[in-house]
Structure formats: structure tokens, C-alpha cells
A and B are shown apart, each in its own frame.
Chain A
């Protein structure tokens, strides 16, 4: 195939033997190398810093050092594998928060959908154990550099508990980065109605908005009271699952977009003393940046590739929202909820890229799908940037990974393990290419 698909320039030394990179893509390592050295790439750390020529040491899944590749003296015997990535771009694994990836396979086939449980308050429902590591969809997302995802349930008022997972693993257990990292609360709409898709009824001001809000407050008050007792006489599954929301071990992800809703969410979070509230969506968040900044509530911002909600909204509203939040001092990250979100998770890098075209600096755009996402989800101690002591979860791209033309993952590492940058779609391509070269 074409030169850009399989970069042959990469040299990999395994047990002192130089091998072509193509080998990596087709061979499962019989014995996983535990000491890997990446040498020579342009490293985007994830925290805004850039190393022009980095040497990255990886041992037992962790990053042991970052050094200047020129100043670094290589001692080959120290490494199982040495990979020369000179001229390429190195990124922390991209993170797709708030996604049904791994919980669904074919949108139109009910049997493959595992993200929407019946019921209204489902904090006890856990996505972690439904996460399908063998998802074909996931393999195509992984190949674009998305190495972490937050498997997120949908529906109801509290959809359930999400979990942060790697997009590579043998089973959900070893793919888990953070189980039950938070619950997802769908804030009621201040505008209401809509009917069903073929016969939509008009939307009106939600007259029940106050009532619905109150119901949520009551549920949280009940949960808070319940959690005051560490060993309650009668255990309540639902309320047990709420415990972490108050003691700081669980995030509360509150899905809300409209101005009225956002203002209420902030008030609610304060009133209930939520340890880590997070706004998911935040279409109008640019209007209240001071408030968000002061109350230290981060935003997982609405998918940048979304149409404006209203006819007079700026055509590029969603493109610019990340830079508006950055300018307003609001902590945020980019997520991808929406139409065909699981399949589309592979375009996450280009969402950040678009945000970059519309005002974010390149490194901020990288942070918006790496470190900041991990900070918001509370896993930044181990993930989100390529720094000493953190998990070796990163990838190497031929060029700028935020641009479609140059995003070309040539090497991926998840928790120190080399992963295949290929996927079944590439296999199909190769299979049918043979048909035409016969």
C-alpha cells in the first residue's frame, strides 16, 4: 500500500535486534517487553510543554524518565526494546470522556446496545462490567490515538456510574483505570417537549422544571443523609452508590447546556456540598465563565462538531467554545457525546484540532483531550501526560495528530504495553487490495 500507511522509517530494536515497525503491527509480542526506550520524537507532554527530541524510558508500565535524546547516552543492554521515533510526534494517549464506546456496537441493533438501563435513578448501575474490550468499533478508535475512554451510561435522571477504561485490554478488569469514577446526572431541561422524532411536538418552557429540580435535590439530600452513617442497618444499593459523591471519591457529572440550567447546577452543587461536580455539555458556558471559574466547576464541553442550537448563534459557536472557556479561565476538556458517538470517537483528535483552528493553542488543544480530561476525572496522577512516574500510555504519530492529514499512529503504548496500531478495517483493506493486485 501507500507509503503513508506503513511508515518504514521506524526502527525497533528488540533484544538488541533491529526490526521493522511493520512487524509490530502484525505480531503479538509473545513476551511483553517490560523495558522500552522511545528515542528521538517531538514530545507533546500534555501539560503544555514540548520536548523537541525526547528520550522516554518505560519500565514496568511506567515512565521512568524523560530526557533530551541528544544528551542521553544510550546503553542498549538496559532495554528490551529500543524504538527510534525521530521526526515523529509523541502524545499522551488521547482521552474520550463521556462516551458509549465499548457499551455499544451497532447503533441500530438493540442487542448490541448496553448503555441505557431502565429506571430513573440508577447510580448503582455500573458501566465498567459491560465494557467490551473486543469491540470492533473500539479497535478503530484506538488506531487514531484514543487510548482512554470514560465508558458512560445514558438515560434516566441518574444514568449510572461511569468508569475510565483503556481502549486496549484482555478483559474489562485489566482495562480498568478507574472504576465507578462518577455518576452521571441528567439535569432537567428548562425547555421541554419535543414529541418523538417523526411527529415532534413543539417545545415549550418546561413548566415542571422547578418540580424536577426539586426532586433531584430531594434525592441528593436523602443520599447525603444516608451516607452520614457508615454502616447503615438496611443497605440501600442505590444510596450506597451515592456515597462517593459526598466524600470525594466520585465525581458528579451533571449534563446540562442551557444558561438557566447551568446557573442552577452551580447553585445545586454548592448547596449539596458536592465534592467534585463536573458540567457535561455547557453549550452556554461561555456566558458564565466567571461563575464557573469562581466555583471551580470544570466543563466537559459540548462536541465541537455540533451545529448551533439557535439560528442566530454564531455559526462556529461550538468550534470556538473551547477557546472561549480557556480565555475565561474555566477548566475544561473536550468530549464527543452526540450522533454516532462511539464510532465517531476516533475523530476526537480532530475535534481538538478544530478547536485549535478556532483559537486554542496547539498544546492547549492537546491538553484538552489529555491532561485536562484526566484532571477532571481525577486520574491525572497516573494518566494524561507523558511525565515521569505516570503510566506509559502514549502514542507516536507520523505528524500532527490533531490534523486529519497527518494523524497516523505508528506506535501505541498502553500501560507500558505495545499495542497494534492496526485494526480490522485495515485488514479488510488489505484483503480486498489483494483482489485488485491479483
Chain B
């Protein structure tokens, strides 16, 4: 043994251990080493060898820690301990992949309230505290018996535990959960590391947003690649860890379905494949998941029904929450039906009872029990590369399994009988064969009484006797019946002509013959012999009918799965608008009694004669109405997930709103109702160089990728003034450079100097370190990326144009630009456009000189002027805002209209395909009930790429449908409430992003823009 021990020590890091019967014998023992049977043979069992193979009346032979043999005809060695498992079910131990069990939780360090810009972690680690792949769960693992117990109770034998914190979280460790004196809990098999898009406990300012987390992880991956391919003077343990984990399982925590798609983009960029810990709403993206073919680890802590007994509260519950409640239990089965591999995690459950209830619920909602088993055993084993040892019960694998009284996936009354962990047996409960149920003839002394024993669940019995001797008689007396292994106690009270009082019997059971016998006391105080013989077999628990699948044909997901979602995504169909006043925005100007035909997403005709149309054309009569191209919002912050600002650093060019587009924002639909068809989703204004923009079409019900405009020009947000110098961030935010307008200028010069140096490095060194931030700054220098700059006062506007001129690029757009009227001539000379508010001002000091004549005055100087929203409410009535240019300054109506259509298209370099009603352009059209600049104008239809996405008539129907759907689900919930299933409704505060919103949550406070 010593020899082996030494060998083990020497080989620990180099060899994958072949686990043999002896390989755990590393613990010196007191006295003679502990005795253990050489073999165990569990016979006559129903064995779930693997998810696809079940053997009846089979034997599993165990030697040491390992399964020697399994099968129907296994020859049992003489020296084996035989355990009869007649009627029992053996299942492989489950494997948990989403747990930090036994690993210390990361704790936030105490801060002083001031921003922490640099990492405070000493040692050779990555510069950002959210990247700590070097944390290895095996080093800190200490079994937490209480926590382990709930897993063991639920049938889990293994957990791949890890610290859950940060973006690169670290290495997982496979542990055996059962307590053992024979071996250490951490197993030398399975490998994988964990990631997330959440910063965790780090107090470092960067990243402060989800897009920042994405950029950070990408940069770390690039750094790891560079580290590997270059000779290094200094070591970096974090990068070494990332490299050593590169080809292992990489498991990504996600908080909603869109995060999976975001992380998958990173995987693709680095030619890697991730698995994902899901959140329960993945049924909404099955098509995308199919394409990924990644494993999804599913939580099944299905949402509890809200307490809806108070209708005032019930009406506050958003439809999306109700729909998720209804759909959640279908999630596992829908994924499996679509061929997406899943694992199931117990995370989110406190007790095994809750877990099993939910697991069975998933099965009732269509998940087959073999798929459920696979998701708990083989799939997780495969994912971490441990399926040669765990995950099924084939010979050579570890003898870790659970014995149940019946198939636990199908029978709610099943009981756990034994758990086996690496060949170590633990008896959970003595098995009481339910076959005891039946009719008996009970003889107490001389008196014969018919006895009936029922068993509702294994090991639990109830009985009754008929005192008059007639077993069909109605007069029955309840009998207390306790069975413990082979002992039985029977007790009942009786009051008749023979006995008055209590009868107490105690005896042994012969299970095979179904005979009880023993001694007892009668009410007369007489000590008598008794016995009972089975006369008729009772119904076995197993004979119970299988529950049918709980499918509700009304429970279907919408796109998106919330109010105003589509039943199915509408298809493109030719549309003809006829007899309508067309605001062409082209040389024809306003055309009366016109016709516009949209086919395959494009405008194919616009003119005054009725064109020939395909048969399936939808014709919309526009008599008395006005047709325009869709409104384009140059400055919007809707449809963004988890942070509009990456304010952690003064320059965050590496982050992109395009990475965090959020299609489930109801404001998309609301903007559609106001005729908006496209928008630039801008990064906020927290820093001089913000992040990259997302140019989207407002395709309600579509995925982020579908919303992003194909081949859109690249844009980035810059910002100046109060927000970037943190004027209104409180008295602690005085550390980050810049704090003055003077500093802002220097941030730009420094950034672009570094970018130029990087460009030279790239040209000369093939092994250069990729720098995502400088890559983007270079795109600006090379005029491959346009700037939209948040700006207010003329001094800073002037400054930035000087910076750009001196570096040889152009500021494409000044957005807000409230003092643009003071420098409109300079802007025109520089070639900058202006995208402004119609009339906002007075919300902070730097907008004190803002005037509503701004748009007109810039326009008059030849600046391309757009009017934007920066606000989800105003965004849906930009037509009114454009009309204000007529009021303030007397702008020509067509010019005013162009400020929300053609001009933003020009500023976004999309005017070759959007912004006017002309043949060849995208069919992004809006039909207005009146002159679009008039206060009376309402939207009848909004069309994007030839598809009607808003229809005012349908909108009213949807409103009714939403209410009906709500009522239907609430009724369902009331039933659940009646069954005692309820929790208080928690209303989420819905914030809206503005330019100055810091952190991942939207602002609900006073807007400062």
C-alpha cells in the first residue's frame, strides 16, 4: 500500500488515475485496516444502467469502489455479500454542475465609497478583479455536510463545485457528496471552468455594465492567446489558468436567454464552445440553440404561483411574468424535443422534496423519464469529461448509485432505500415491501377477526378490522399498524359484547409467507398468542395509473413572450397603399393620391398610378391619410440589457451596445406605435469615449441579430461636459480623470496617441497583443467608424472639432448639441451633423442656453439636423417633436419632417436604404391618420422591411387578448393558490436608460441626459 501511495504522489499531476479498489486507501488507519467485503452483489433489481438501458431482475456486482459487472446473468463470487433487491430500482447517482457547495463564497471587500479604479489583489494576477480563473475549487473544498445532505437526499452523488463569482470564475472540482472515512471527497476526474457576464463582488469600477463584462472577457481571452504565443518575462497566473482551461468544458452562467446568445458570440469569436447554465426561459430561442448545439444546464426551480387572491395586486402582475410561470415547466421538454442537450441542476431548491416535485412536474409536462435521467447523469458526466467513470452503471464505472422503492421519476410516493457512493453503502431506510397490503385472517387467542391492511406509500400502512367477523361489514374499526423491519405492532380499541378496551399485539413478520405471529394483550388483560395469515393480496403501489402529461394547449409562448407579443412572427407579404398622400422626402416632395407598393421588404413602386400587384397583395386604402418613411431615432436607449454606460473607465471604446440588444423591451412596441422603424441605440454619456452603437430596426418579436441592421456603418458614442466630468455623481466621484473640460481634451489626445502607437506595433510585430479599445480608436482614425458625440456647450464642441481636425478625422454627429446654434457655421465647415432635442432645457447647468430655435438655426447654416428622443416616452411621438421646428423658427414642413426621417438616415449613413419613400429603399413605412406633423396624427400601420409590425386595429385586439390571457392564467393561478402554492408578487421597478444612467439598472429618477 505504501508503494502505491508513493506512486500516487509522484504521478498525481501527470496521470489520469485509474481508480481501482485501492486507489483511495491513502488514509492511515488506526489498528488493523477497516474490514470491507470483497464483493457486493445486488440482485433482482431493476437497474437503470444508462438512460437508454434498463434491466429487470438484474444484478450489479461491486468490487471496492467500482462496478465489476452488471447484467441479468452475472455470476456471483462466493465471497460476495448478496443483497436482495427484489422490487427495487437502482439509478446512477445524479451529478450537479451548478453548485458552489463546500466552496467559500466570494465576499466583497469593504470600500471607502470612492471609486476603485485598479485591482487591489496582490500577486501575479490579471488587472481586473472580475477575472480570476486561477481560483481552483479543489483547493478550498471543505464538505458541508448539511448542504451535502440535501443533495444526497435528492439522489445526487456528485457535484462539480466551483466558486460562483465574477466573469472568469475559476476551475471546478468534482466531489463525491457522501461522507466517507475511506477516501477524500475530491475526485480526480472531470474538468471545466466557469464564466458569467456579471461582475461579481469586485469593487473595481470596471466593468459596470454587461457589455463591459463581455469586452473584458474577450480582452482576457485575447491576452491569454498572446501570453501563450509569446515569451514572457513576467508571469500571469490568471492567463496561465485561462490557457490551461482553454480546451476543457467552459460553463457559462446566464440570467436570461439572451445572455446565452451573447456568450455564444464570444465562443464563436474564439472558436470555442461553451455550455450554459440557463435561467428557465430558453424555450423562446430553440432555433438559435439548435444552431449552437451547446448543452444547457437547466434550473427547474419553476416559479411559484403569485398570490392572486387580491385582484388589486393580481392586476399589477405583468403578463410576461404570468406567461413565464405557465411555460416554465415545459422548458426542459421543449428543449429536448428540439434536440438540445440538457442537464438538470438542483440549484434553487432547499429540499429534495421540492426538487423532486419539480422534476416530476417537468416529466408531467412532457420530459420523458429517460431524458430526465440523462439530464441528471450521463449528460453532466459527458460535459465535464467524466463519463468514463460516472453518469451510468456500466462495468468499470464508480459504484455510486441510489436504490429506490420504485422508479422515482414516475412515482411520487417512491422512497429512497439506500445510497451507494464509490462502493460504500448507506442504508437510508429499511425497505418495507408494500406487498404486505391485503386481506388477512387474524386470530387472537380464540377470536378470529378479518383484518385489512392498506398501504398508500411504501412502508406506511393502515388497517381495519371487522369486529363482527364479516369482512364486508360496514362496521369497521381502525387499526394502528407499525411495521419496523420484521417487527409489527398492531393496536386497536374495541367495544363489543366480548371485549371492551384496547388490544395490543406485537409480533414478527414472515415476508415470504405473509404471516404475522406473536403475543399480545386483550382488553381482559389476558396475554395470548396471535397470528395473521394473508388471504388475499392487496393492490401494489406500483399498479397505480401513470399520471397523464399535463399539456395545456393554451399555454403557448408568444414572440416576445409578453403583452403585445406575436402568436407567430408575421411574414413578409406584398403591401399596396393606395390613394394616399405620400411624403416622399425625395424630389417629388409631397405626392397626393399616390400609390406605394412594397414587395420582399423593398419599395417597388411609388407614384400616382396604381401598379400591377401580385395576387396575395394586402391593399390598404390610404384615402385621407398620409404615408411616410419610418421615423429614425438617432439617439435612443431602449432595448438595452444591463447597463447603458460602461463608466468604469474614461475610454471604453471596446464595449458595444450591439452585444446587449434586448428584444423583450415593451418600449420597442411602443415606439412602433409612434411610427419609429429604426434607431441608433447609443452608449450613455458617462465617459469621453463611450461604447459602440447598435443600429437596429424595431423588429418586435425578433432576435437581437435580426434586429441589428445588416452591414450597418460603425458608430461610437463620445461625450463631453457635465456627465463625463462626473459633475452630478455625488461628492465621492472625484477620482476618475477627467474632472474638468480641460481634462476631457487630454483624454482624447492620449487615447489617439496610444492608438497610433498600437497601429505601428501591429504593423511591425506579428505577435502583437490585441487591444480591443485601441482597435476601435484606430477605426476612428482610419475613418471606418463614425462618432456621435453628446455635447452641450459651444466651447467643448469647438474643442472636439479641433481635436478631430488635428488628428485628421471628422466628428460625424454632435448629439444633443444644444448650443449648436452658436457654432453652426463651424460645424458646417467641419462637416458635422447635429441631432438635437426639439425643446428640452433647464435640466442642468450646461443646458441653460439651450433654445428651441436650435434645429432651425443649424439647418439654416447647412448642418444636417435630426431631432432625436433619448427618451422612451418622447420616442413614440417624434412627429410632434419635429413639428416644433415649425413653431420655433418657422421651418418648412417638409424640412421639419426630414429631421426625423431622412436626416437621421443621412447622419447614420443609411440614407441609401432608408429615410424616404422611393423605389429601391427598404419598405419601412408609416401610414398616418392625418398630416404627420399635426397634433391629430396617429399611426395606423408601421411597416418594417415590408412586414406590418404595428396595426392600430390589431393593437386594440391585442389589448383585449392580453387581458383575456391574463385572466386565464390568473384563474389557473387561483387554483394553484387554493392548493397552497403562492408567493407575494414582487413588482420590479422598471427604469429607463438615459445618457447618464450608471450601472446595470435603468433610472427612475429625474432625467438629466
* Residue ranges of A at the interface with B (Cβ–Cβ < 8 Å): 1-5, 105-109, 136-137, 190-191, 193-205, 258-260, 305-308, 310-312, 314-316, 339-340, 342-343, 346-347, 350, 353-354, 356-358, 400, 402-408, 425-426, 428-429, 432-433, 435-436
Contacts and interface: CB of A to CB of B under 8 A. Distances in A.
Interface string B605-630: 00000000000000000000000000
A330 to B, nearest CB: 20
Interface in B861-890: 861, 872-874, 876-877, 880, 883-884, 886-887, 889-890
B935 A105 contact: no
Nearest to A343: B842
Contacts of B1004: 194, 197, 200
A158 B422 CA distance: 69
Contact of A402 (B825, B893, B935): B935
B985 A2 contact: no
Nearest to A406: B887
- Rank and list the top 7 A-B pairs by shortest CB-CB distance, nearest first: A2-B890, A312-B563, A108-B844, A4-B890, A353-B935, A203-B987, A197-B1005
B822 interface: yes
Contacts of A194: 989, 1004
B663 to A, nearest CB: 14
Contact of A203 (B841, B933, B989): B989
B883 A310 contact: no
A285 to B, nearest CB: 15
B880 A404 contact: yes
Contacts of B705: none
Contact of A339 (B883, B962, B985, B1007): B1007
A343 B1005 contact: no
Nearest to B849: A428
A321 to B, nearest CB: 14
Given A191-B316, A408-B887, A357 B937 contact: yes
Contacts of A260: 312
Given A105-B842, A259-B312, 16 more contacts: A2-B856, A106-B843, A108-B727, A108-B845, A199-B999, A204-B987, A311-B562, A311-B564, A311-B666, A339-B1006, A339-B1007, A343-B840, A404-B935, A407-B887, A425-B851, A429-B821
B1006 to A, nearest CB: 6
A405 B998 contact: no
Give the residue among A2, A5, A199 with the most B Cβ atoms within 10 A: A2
Contacts of B873: 305-307, 339
Contacts of A347: 839
A404 B887 contact: yes
Interface in B937-976: 937-938, 955, 959, 962-963, 966
B120 interface: no
Nearest to B881: A404
B305 to A, nearest CB: 15
Interface residues of B, number: 83
A315 B669 contact: yes
Nearest to A305: B873
Which of A356, A406, A429 has the most chain B CB atoms closer than 10 A to its own CB? A429
Contacts of B963: 312
20 contacts: A2-B890, A4-B887, A106-B843, A136-B848, A193-B989, A198-B999, A198-B1001, A200-B1001, A201-B989, A205-B310, A259-B312, A316-B673, A340-B842, A340-B1007, A353-B935, A354-B877, A426-B853, A429-B889, A435-B825, A436-B860
A42 B998 CA distance: 51
Nearest to A316: B673
Contacts of A405: 883, 886-887, 893, 933-935
Nearest to B665: A311
B987 A340 contact: no
Nearest to A202: B986
Given A108-B728, A109-B844, A425 B989 contact: no
B936 A107 contact: no
Interface string B816-852: 0000011011000000000000011111110011011
Nearest to B846: A108
B657 interface: no
B991 interface: yes
Contacts of A429: 821, 851, 853, 857, 889
A323 to B, nearest CB: 13
Interface of B: 310, 312-313, 315-316, 318-320, 562-564, 666-667, 669-670, 673, 722, 727-728, 821-822, 824-825, 839-845, 848-849, 851-853, 856-857, 860-861, 872-874, 876-877, 880, 883-884, 886-887, 889-891, 893, 933-938, 955, 959, 962-963, 966, 984-989, 991-992, 997-999, 1001-1008
A432 B890 contact: no
A107 B872 contact: no
A187 to B, nearest CB: 14
Contacts of A358: 938
A311 B842 CA distance: 31
Determine chain A's interface SS by DSSP, over half rule.
loop
A432 B821 contact: yes
B836 to A, nearest CB: 14
B844 A106 contact: yes
A406 B955 CA distance: 30
A190 B449 CA distance: 64
A305 B839 CA distance: 15
Contact of B933 (A108, A404, A407): A404
B857 A202 contact: no
A306 B889 CA distance: 27
A294 B890 CA distance: 47
Nearest to A207: B984
Given A404-B880, A429-B857, A433-B857, A202 B988 contact: yes
Given A306-B873, A311-B318, A342-B842, A354 B935 contact: yes
Contacts of A310: 316, 318
Contact of B319 (A1, A312, A350, A406): A312
Contacts of A435: 822, 825
A331 to B, nearest CB: 24
B991 A200 contact: yes
A348 to B, nearest CB: 13
Contacts of A107: 842-844, 1006, 1008
A404 B883 contact: yes
B988 A425 contact: no
Contact of A356 (B673, B822, B935): B935
Contacts of A311: 318-320, 562-564, 666
Given A109-B844, A339-B1006, A403-B935, A315 B824 contact: no
A353 B840 CA distance: 19
Contact of B936 (A191, A307, A342, A357): A357
A190 B312 contact: yes
Given A4-B886, A5-B889, A315-B669, A203 B988 contact: yes
B856 to A, nearest CB: 8
B964 to A, nearest CB: 11
Nearest to A340: B843
Contacts of B997: 197-198
Contact of A428 (B312, B316, B851, B937): B851
A105 B667 CA distance: 30
A106 B563 contact: no
Contacts of B938: 357-358
Contact of B987 (A202, A308, A316, A350): A202
Contacts of A314: 959
A274 B874 CA distance: 38
A261 B416 CA distance: 52
A343 B511 CA distance: 88
A181 to B, nearest CB: 25
B846 to A, nearest CB: 9
Given A339-B1006, A357-B936, A312 B890 contact: no
Contacts of B853: 425-426, 429
Given A429-B853, A432-B822, A312 B962 contact: yes
Given A191-B316, A197-B1003, A108 B985 contact: no
